[in-house]
Structures are given as C-alpha cells and as structure tokens.
C-alpha cells in the first residue's frame, strides 16, 4: 500500500520521550484508549436501548385498557347469570322483550330465531342490546400504573363506562377480515395476501436468481465459440464483456430504491401487461378486478426487487464450493451441466436457500412498491387466485398508523407484532433449514 | 461393458441439452439487464410526456409544488430540499453511530460480544420500514415535543432521526467488512511499534479501509434518499421550501405515495408527475450508487 495514506505522525524519531516522560506518555495514551473504548461501548448500548424502546412502545400500544360503555348491562338482562349459560329459549325471550318489534321482524325474516344457534343468538344480543362501545383507549403502562387517574378521567367524560383490559392482538384479530370499525377489524385478508405474495415471489425469484448466479459463476468464463476464427473471438469477447456488464448492473440494481421498482411494476405489469396480469388472456374474468392490480403483478414486481440480492447471495454460496469437487466430477467424465446439477448445486444449496429466504423475508416487509402498483388498502374478501385484488400486512399497518384515532394506533401495534413474528419465524426457518441441510451433507 | 454403456449415451442429444441449459441460464442473467432497461424506459417515456406539457425550466426554477391543487405549479425544489433535509438528519445519526459500531465490532469487541451484538444489528436491519415509521410518529415525536414545544406532529426531525437508526446497521456492517478486510500484518506492525489499541484502530486501520467506509456512507445516503415509509408516515404531506426540521414537509418518495394512494386518472398530468418525480429520485440514487462503486474500485488499497 502507499505510505502516505498511513500519514506518519508529527513526532519524528528525534523527539521520542524518555524516562518519566515516556511513562506518562504511555499511561495517558492508554487512558485515552480506555475512554474511547468506553464511548464505543456506550454507543453500542445506545443502539440496544433504541431497540428496546421500540419493542416497549409496540407492546405498550398493542395491549392496554379500554373504556367500554354498554347500552344495557349484561347482569340486568340475565339476573346476574352469564349469557353463555342460558338456554336457547331464554336467549330468545331476552331478545323478544328487549328488541323493538320492527328489528325483531327483520331478524325473523332473515332466518327464524328458533332455528339459530346459541352462539348466533348471543352475538345478536351483544350487537343489538348490550351494544358495547369503546369510548376511550389507554396504553398498557397507563392501564397498569396510572389506574386512578384514567378512572377519574373516564368517570368525568363517560359516567357509565367501565375500564377493561383489552389485548388488541387476539385470535379474533388474526382471523377476522378488515373492518372500518377498529374494535372489529382484523388482518385475515392481509395475512393471506402476504403469504400468497411470499410464495409467488419465492417461486419466481428462486429459479431466476439461482440460474443467473450459476451462469455468472460457472459459465461466464466459457468460450463457446471457436477462438481461431476472428468472428468467434469477437463473439467470445462480447460475451465476456456483457457478463461484466451484468455484474455491474446487478450491483447497481441492488441500490435502486424500492419505490422505483413500484413505478416499474406500475408501468409494465399493471399497465402494459394488464391483459396478462389481470388474467384476461387466460379467459379469467374476476368481476372485482377490472385491472392489473393483482397479486401476480405484485409478485412479479417483488421478484425483480429481490432478484439482485438473491443472485448475489447465491453467487457467494456457489463460489464457496471448492474447485476440486468440480475437477473430480469432470475427471469422471461428467459434462458441465451434470457437474453443476449433481455436484455444485447440492453443495451450495444450504447457502442459497438461506440467502434466498432471508432476502425474500426482507421484501415481505416492503410497503412502498405495493402502494405504487395500487394494492388495495381496504378490502374484505380473501384473495382466491393469482388474479385477485389483495392487501398485505405492512400496507394495513401503514393505513392504520396514518389515522389519528388511538384505536387504530393500537391495532397498528398489534399488526406490527404479527408482522414481526412472521418475519422472525421465516428467519428462524432459514437458519434451521441451513443447519439441517449442512448436517445431512456432512453425514453422507 | 463399460464401453457399450458409454456408447449408449446419446452424445449429440446431451450436447444439445447442455446448449439449451446454457441459453436458459443466459436468459436468467439477462433479466437483470431487462429490469434496468425497463426502469429507465418506463421512467424516461412518461417523463417525456410530462415535460411536453410542463416546461423543464418551470420544473427546475419554480419554488412551489402544487400539482394536485387548482393552481398548479410544478417546481421540484420543495420535494428535493425535504428529501435532502431528512436524509442529512439521518446521516448525522447513522454515520457516527454506524462507524463507531463498526470500529468497535472489528477492532475492540471480544468474540463473545461480537456474537451477541451482530445478530442484534441484523434484527435492527430486518425490521420493516413501516414499523420504523410507526416508531417515529408515535414515540419519537411525542418524546421530542418535551424539548421542542413548537414541533409539529409531522416533522422531518423525528423522521430523519429514526431513519438514521434504521441505517446504523447498514453503515456498520458495510464498514465492518471494509475494516476486517485490512490485513492483520498492519495491526501487528502497529502494535509492534507500541501503539495502543485505539491508536491502531483510528490511525492505522480506519485510514487503510477509508475507501470502503466512504462507499458505505454514500450507499447509506442513497438509501436514505429512496426511503419511503418512514417519511410518508412521520414527515408530513406539505410540500414547502424550507430547511426547518420542525415543520411538516414532503419528500419525493412521500409525494409518489400520496399520488399512488389517491385516485389519479391514468394519463392525466398529475399521473405523469409521478414519473417525473420518480425519475428525479432515480437520478439522485443512481449517481450516488455509481459514485460509491467508483470509490471502491478506484481507491481500494490492495495488499499483496
């Protein structure tokens, strides 16, 4: 390396300290070193504190208290017995005494009360008579440590309301579809959309990414044309140069912001290839999707987004397979592709799979490109095919976060927990898979 | 017997198959070129359509951006300044903390600490940006309001700070790669001359890895410019030409989000603004990426 980049110190050899001065010099330098080490550690701890703050904030919002106000108390309806213990006849009696005749008649017309199950009747009683209404939302810390204050506050604004514990993250939250009422809203549609997108993106980007990586690692330096003819030499050179271009290009693509991929997807998959991505070419006409804003468009866009990372990590995995294995395979008379398929790929597979799953799980948290290609922010029907409209978890979280009411903030936090659990389990799956594949290869 | 078995292999078919596979692989590799071409063409064509109606002079000299209002003005500067402002705040957090974390991990930390801190950084890097946006809006902004009472609910300060936190692992891991790539002989030589650990790290190893470190900073800046969800959630939706970090602003990316969420009819002028802004954003990040690539190539110290 060049010497000037090391920049020789101002002190030259002639002025080296001696004796007591030298000892002082050494100890002060060591002290300075210790202080800086402390600063470095402090900064690292600062990062950890931020992470903890984020986690605390999410949990604090996702669980907590709500002030509920009932139109009628449950005890008043049932003389103190819980609704769940009542028989069907008793439930119907409650409905008949408490509901106005017009409402009752409507219900009877839908389906006679006597034919309905007990759960249904309880739901009706809850919705029509008890009518719980959330009038205030408190975070977990307020609920646990500030109880008297919030109780006093609530009594002042809503005298009949009560404070209850509420976990916004619940099984109901996961299995119910979207709703404009935050208390009833769930993320079923969003989870299904996310899983659909995950699988499709993996299906598209894995073969393409691994294929490109194999080409760049194994075939790039081949000279397929005859070197003795000028035209052949020229062709070989062109191939070499374009391979170099592809590598630079992949590096550049990995730096393009995700929202630009969204614009690409909008222009090409949603607009230009609308006939294909909306399923019209296959004679598939979904009345709800009149355009190309489908899961397929999203998956194609996401695949292009993750492709550079998949290629780079697969290249690393392929490069790590020792050359001696390839040579042994050639020595036994195998062709190039036989060597790649039977020797290189199986050995590189643990690395390839881990890299692919990790990069795709990153993409699952992406929101921006999906907003641009026009994923739905409010949708209650499950995605059923490649050509369905869809929504995804991060988009739902964004939608809820951007609303001012505290209820939406709470369900956004609950949604975040689900998203993070999904991502962590994907990462864990990637690591387990790698360890499993590694141990299998070593033992054979 | 072996000979007959060999002969049974249809060598012509096999050669054809090998060729076929190779063509498939070339196609897979060419997808990346097609992607770049797709990005450039879709941006350029629609941007040309935009500039056929709005003059490029207005785009570059007007100081207001109001394409969705009745009085339409198309000056890109409010969006650009907001983008630069949030990114600059982010870099003020990410560069010192990221570099410190990198130096600490590569030169000071014991293997045990490294094994615990690195996964933590990876967790930070894996958190979706929409979560960071939520964090900025619901935690950092109320927290900062204790110190700056005039702070708006949406502001570039908290968006920038949180974006900085998001970029710490990015800067740290890229810089750490650069630092660990410096050969051990340099460390040993410096220790042999009586340097302390700190002196080795800051005066020998960091200068030797400077090209990689600068490249990581440039890449982080490019990330910050293209970052969308944090600014869309926490920085506001008001395009204005200001460097005041306490008021709502609108970055290029949040504008794209705003247009995409609204129902802008296809082919209208406001639809084309999306591409014009996207193209500007692409040029910014592209220049930064090329620069970082060039940095690494040009100034890499080669030890052999």
How much is the pLDDT for B9? 57
Q: For B41, phi and psi rounded to 5 degrees?
A: -65, -45
Reported as a single tens digit per residue, the pLDDT across A420-432 is 999 888 888 888 8
The shortest C-alpha distance from B149 to chain A (Å) reads 20
Residues of chain A above pLDDT 70, percent: 91
What pLDDT does A269 receive? 87
CATH number for the domain spanning B141: value is 1.10.3720.10
DSSP assignment letter at A126: I
Q: Are A255 and B289 in contact (CB under 8 A)?
A: yes
Prediction ipTM score: 0.89
| Shortest Cα distance, chain B CAs vs residue A15, angstroms | 15
Question: Nearest CB to B18: which of A41, A253, A336?
Answer: A336
Instruction: Return residues 227-286 of A near B (CB < 8 Å).
Output: 243, 245-246, 248-253, 255-264, 266-268, 271
Work out the average pLDDT over A159-183: 77
pLDDT for position A287: 57
**What percentage of chain A carries pLDDT values higher than 90?**
14
Q: Which residue, A434, A423, A430, is CA-closest to A361?
A: A423
Q: Are residues B108 and B254 in the same domain?
A: yes
Dihedral (CA of A126, A127, A132, A134) sign? positive
Q: Say if residue B5's pLDDT is above 80.
A: no
CB-based contact B196 A2, cutoff 8 Å: no
Residue B253 confidence (pLDDT): 92
- With a cut of 70, say whether residue B192 has pLDDT above it: yes
Question: For the segment B153-170, what is each residue's pLDDT rounded down to a tens digit?
Answer: 899 999 999 999 999 989
pLDDT at B234 over 80: yes
A133-139/A162-167 β-pairing = unpaired
pLDDT at A50 over 50: yes
Residue window 83-102, chain B: list those with CB within 8 Å of chain A: 96-97, 100-101
What is the average pLDDT across A174-182?
77
Per-residue confidence (pLDDT) for residue A285, from 0 to 100 = 64
* Whole-number pLDDT of residue B14: 80
Residue B40: closest C-alpha in chain A: A264
CB contact under 8 A, B124 and A51: yes
A337 contacts chain B (CB < 8 A): yes
Residues B24 and B155 in one domain: no
Largest CA distance in chain B: 90
pLDDT tier, A213 (very low <50, low <70, confident <90, very high otherwise): very high
| Any domain includes B268 | yes
Mean pLDDT for chain A overall: 81
The winner for highest mean pLDDT among A6-10, A67-71, B32-36 is: B32-36
Greatest mean pLDDT range, A90-104, A112-126, A146-160, B83-97? B83-97
Which pair of structure tokens corresponds to residue B256?
């794209």
Residues 22 through 51 of chain A touching chain B, CB cutoff 8 Å: 26, 29-30, 32-33, 36-37, 39-41, 43-44, 46-48, 50-51
Together in a domain, B273 and B129: yes
What is chain B's length?
A: 304
Least-confidence region, from A21-35, A309-323, B178-192, B223-237 = A21-35
Q: Would you state the pLDDT for residue A1? A: 42
pLDDT at residue B3 greater than cutoff 70:
no
pLDDT, position A307: 92
Taking residues B113-142, what's their average pLDDT?
Answer: 85
Which chain A residues contact residue B295 at CB under 8 A?
A: none
Residue B70 lies in a domain: no
Q: Which residues contact A153 (CB under 8 A, 6 or more apart)?
A: A136
Point out which residues pair with A138 in neighbouring strands: A65
Q: Which residues in chain A have Cβ-Cβ distances shorter than 8 Å to B32?
A: 212, 246, 249-250, 253, 307-308, 311
Residue of chain A nearest B291, judged by CA positions: A252
Distances (CA, A) of A98 to A69, A94, A95, A125: 18, 6, 5, 9
Question: Distance (Å) from the C-alpha of residue A307 to the closest C-alpha of chain B?
Answer: 8
- Mean per-residue pLDDT for B186-209? 89
**Residues B20 and B110 placed together within one structural domain of the fold:** no
Taking 50 as the threshold, does the pLDDT of residue A30 lie above it?
A: yes
Tell whether B205 and B95 lie within a shared domain.
yes
> Would you say residue A208 has pLDDT above 90?
yes
Q: How many residues are there in chain A? A: 444
Residue B210 lies in a domain: yes
A4 has a pLDDT exceeding 50: no
Least confident range of A208-217, A331-340, B291-300:
B291-300
* CA B172 vs CA A135, A355, A398, B120, B212: distances in Å: 46, 20, 28, 12, 11
Q: With CB atoms and an 8 Å threshold, state whether A219 touches B25.
A: yes
Query: CA-CA distance, A109 to A111, in Å (whole number)?
Result: 5
| A313/A386: higher pLDDT | A313
Flag whether residue A106 sits within 8 Å of chain B, measured between CB atoms.
Answer: no
CB B212 within 8 A of CB B301: no
Kindly list the distances between the CA atom of residue A17 and the CA atoms of A157, A212, B189, B196, B197, in Å, as whole numbers in the listed order: 77, 61, 21, 16, 20
A374 vs B contacts (CB less than 8 Å): 260
Say whether A176 sits in a helix, a strand or coil: coil
Interface of A with B in 122-151 (CB under 8 A): none
Residue by residue, DSSP assigns chain B as -HHHHHHHS-HHHHHHHHHHHHHHHHHHHHHHHHHHHHHHHHHHHHHHHHHTTS-HHHHHH---B-TTSSS--B-SHHHHHHHHHHHHHHHHHHHHHHHHHHHIIIII--HHHHHHHHHHHHHHHHS-HHHHHHHIIIIIHHHHHTT-TT--SS-HHHHHHHHHHHHHHHHHHHHHHHHHTS-HHHHHHHHHTT--HHHIIIIIIHHHTHHHHHHHHHHHHHHHHH--HHHHHHT-S-------TTS----HHHHHHHHHHTTPPTTSHHHHHHHHHHHHHHHHHHHHHHHHHHHHHHH-----
Same domain, B22 and B133: no
Q: Measured between CA atoms, how close is A334 to chain B, in angstroms?
A: 11
Question: Which B residues 103-142 touch A at CB under 8 Å?
Answer: 103-104, 108, 117, 120-121, 123-124, 126-131, 133-135, 137-139
* Angle in degrees, 0-180, between the axes of helices A295-319 and A345-364, rounded to the nearest 10: 140
Q: Mean pLDDT over residues B108-116, rounded? A: 81
Chain B residues closer than 8 Å to A311 by CB: 32
Neighbours of B273 (CB within 10 A): 25
Per-residue pLDDT, A444: 43
B238-282 pLDDT, tens digit each: 888 888 888 899 999 999 998 888 777 777 888 888 899 999 999
Non-local CB neighbours of B54 within 8 Å, separated by 6+ positions: B74, B269, B276
Flag whether pLDDT at B174 surpasses 60.
yes
Residues of A in contact with B278 (CB under 8 A): 259-260, 263
| Overall average pLDDT of the B134-161 stretch | 89
Tell me, what's the pLDDT at A5?
47
Q: Distance between CA atoms of A101 and A88, rounded to whole angstroms?
A: 19
Model pLDDT for residues A219-251, shown as the tens digit of each residue: 887 777 777 888 888 888 888 888 888 888 888
Residues B245, B153 share a domain: yes
* Residue B45 belongs to some domain of the structure: yes
A5, A43, A261 ranked by CB distance to B208: nearest: A5
Instruction: Say which of B31, B226, B288 has its CB closest to residue A208.
Output: B31
Can you give the pLDDT at residue B231? 92
In the 8-state DSSP scheme, what is residue A276?
H
User: Do B145 and B100 have their domain in common?
Assistant: yes
What's the confidence (pLDDT) of residue B269?
A: 81
What is residue B1's predicted lDDT score, i.e. its pLDDT?
A: 46
Residue of chain B nearest A33, judged by CA positions: B198
Whether residue B219 is found in the same domain as residue B164: yes
Q: For chain A, give every domain's residue range.
A: 188-443
Q: Which domain holds residue B6?
A: 2-52
Sorting pLDDT into bands at 50, 70 and 90, what band is A93? Answer: confident
pLDDT in tens, B9-63: 557 788 888 888 888 888 888 888 889 899 998 889 888 888 888 888 888 887 7
Give the mutation candidate from A259, A290, A300, A369 for the B interface (greatest B CB count, under 10 A): A259
Same domain, yes or no: B40 and B103: no
Query: Tell me, what's the pLDDT at A161?
Result: 74
Q: Using CB atoms, which residue from B46, B253, B293 is nearest to A251?
A: B293
pLDDT at A3: 44
Instruction: Give mean pLDDT, residues A433-438.
Output: 81
Report yes or no on B66 lying in a domain. no
DSSP A342: I
Share the mean pLDDT of chain B.
86
pLDDT of residue B148: 87
Give me the pLDDT at residue A441, please: 66
**How many interface pairs between A and B have CB atoms less than 8 angstroms apart?**
257
How buried is residue A31: exposed, middle or buried, by Cβ count under 10 Å (0-12/13-18/19+)?
exposed
Spatial separation of the C-alpha atoms in residues B37 and A375, rounded to whole Å: 24
A-chain residues within 8 Å CB-CB of B281? Answer: 257, 259-260
Ramachandran region, residue B281 (left: φ > 0; alpha: ψ -120 to 50; beta: rest) = alpha
Q: How many domains does chain B have?
A: 2
Domain at A188-443: CATH architecture: Orthogonal Bundle (1.10)
The count of C-alpha atoms lying within 13 angstroms of the C-alpha of B139, restricted to the half-sphere facing its C-beta, is: 22
Interface of B with A in 28-47 (CB under 8 A): 28-33, 35-36, 38-39, 42-43, 46
Task: State mean pLDDT over A336-356.
Answer: 89
Dihedral sign for Cα A391, A395, A400, A402, please: negative
Residue A120 has pLDDT above 80, yes or no: no
């Amino acid at each position: 390396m060049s010497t000037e980049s090391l920049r020789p110190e101002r002190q030259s050899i002639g002025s080296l300290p001696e004796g007591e001065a030298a000892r002082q010099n050494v100890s002060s330098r060591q002290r300075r070193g210790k202080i800086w080490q402390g600063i470095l550690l402090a900064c690292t701890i600062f990062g950890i504190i931020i992470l903890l703050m984020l986690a605390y904030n999410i949990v604090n919002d996702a669980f907590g208290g709500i002030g509920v106000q009932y139109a009628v108390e449950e005890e008043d309806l049932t003389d103190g017995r819980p609704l769940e213990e009542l028989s069907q006849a008793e439930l119907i009696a409650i409905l008949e005494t408490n509901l106005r005749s017009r409402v009752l008649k409507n219900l009877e017309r839908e389906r006679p009360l006597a034919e309905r199950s007990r759960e249904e009747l309880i739901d009706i009683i809850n919705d029509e008579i008890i009518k719980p209404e959330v009038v205030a939302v408190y975070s977990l810390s307020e609920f646990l440590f500030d109880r008297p204050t919030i109780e006093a506050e609530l009594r002042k604004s809503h005298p009949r309301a009560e404070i209850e514990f509420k976990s916004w993250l619940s099984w109901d939250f996961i299995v119910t579809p979207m709703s404009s009422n935050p208390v009833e809203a769930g993320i079923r549609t969003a989870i299904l959309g996310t899983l659909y997108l995950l699988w499709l993106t993996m299906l598209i980007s894995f073969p393409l990414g691994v294929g490109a990586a194999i080409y760049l690692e194994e075939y790039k330096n081949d000279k397929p044309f005859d070197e003795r003819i000028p035209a052949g030499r020229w062709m070989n050179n062109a191939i070499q140069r374009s391979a170099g271009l592809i590598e630079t290009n992949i590096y550049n693509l990995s730096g393009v912001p995700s929202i630009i991929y969204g614009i690409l997807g909008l222009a090409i998959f949603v607009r230009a290839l609308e006939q294909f991505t909306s399923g019209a070419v296959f004679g598939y006409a979904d009345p709800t999707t009149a355009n190309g804003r489908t899961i397929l468009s999203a998956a194609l866009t996401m695949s292009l987004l993750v492709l550079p990372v998949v290629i780079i990590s697969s290249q690393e995995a392929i490069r790590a397979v020792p050359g001696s294995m390839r040579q042994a395979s050639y020595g036994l008379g195998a062709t190039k592709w036989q060597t790649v398929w039977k020797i290189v790929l199986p050995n590189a597979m643990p690395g390839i799979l881990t890299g692919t799953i990790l990069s795709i799980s990153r993409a699952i948290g992406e929101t921006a490109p999906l907003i641009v290609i026009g994923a739905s922010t409010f949708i209650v029907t499950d995605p059923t095919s490649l050509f369905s409209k869809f929504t995804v978890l991060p988009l739902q979280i964004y939608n809820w976060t951007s609303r001012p009411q505290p209820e939406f903030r709470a369900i956004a936090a609950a949604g975040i927990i689900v998203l993070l659990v999904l991502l962590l389990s994907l990462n864990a799956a990637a690591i387990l898979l790698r360890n499993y594949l590694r141990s299998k290869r070593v033992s054979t | 017997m072996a000979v007959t078995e060999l002969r049974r292999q249809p060598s012509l078919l096999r050669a054809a198959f090998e060729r076929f596979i190779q063509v498939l692989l070339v196609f897979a590799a060419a997808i990346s070129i097609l992607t770049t071409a797709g990005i450039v063409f879709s941006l350029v064509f629609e941007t040309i359509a935009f500039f056929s109606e709005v003059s490029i002079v207005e785009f570059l000299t007007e100081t207001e951006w109001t394409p969705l209002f009745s009085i339409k003005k198309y000056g890109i500067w409010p969006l650009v300044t907001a983008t630069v402002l949030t990114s600059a705040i982010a870099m003020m957090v990410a560069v010192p903390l990221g570099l410190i974390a990198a130096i600490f991990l590569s030169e000071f930390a014991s293997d045990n600490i490294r094994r615990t801190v690195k996964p933590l950084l990876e967790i930070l890097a894996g958190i979706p940006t929409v979560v960071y946006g939520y964090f900025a809006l619901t935690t950092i902004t109320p927290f900062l309001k204790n110190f700056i009472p005039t702070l708006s609910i949406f502001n570039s300060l908290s968006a920038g700070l949180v974006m900085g936190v998001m970029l710490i692992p990015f800067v740290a891991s890229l810089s750490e790669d650069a630092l660990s790539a410096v050969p051990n002989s340099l460390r040993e030589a410096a220790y042999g001359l009586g340097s302390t650990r700190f002196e080795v790290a800051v005066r020998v190893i960091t200068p030797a890895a400077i090209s990689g470190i600068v490249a990581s900073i440039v890449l982080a800046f490019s990330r910050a410019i293209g970052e969308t969800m944090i600014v869309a959630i926490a920085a506001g939706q008001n395009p204005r030409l200001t460097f005041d970090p306490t008021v709502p602003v609108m970055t290029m990316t949040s504008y794209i989000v705003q247009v995409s969420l609204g129902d802008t009819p296809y082919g209208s002028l406001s639809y084309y603004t999306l591409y014009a802004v996207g193209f500007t954003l692409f040029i910014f990040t592209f220049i930064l990426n090329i620069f970082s690539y060039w940095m690494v190539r040009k100034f890499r110290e080669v030890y052999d």
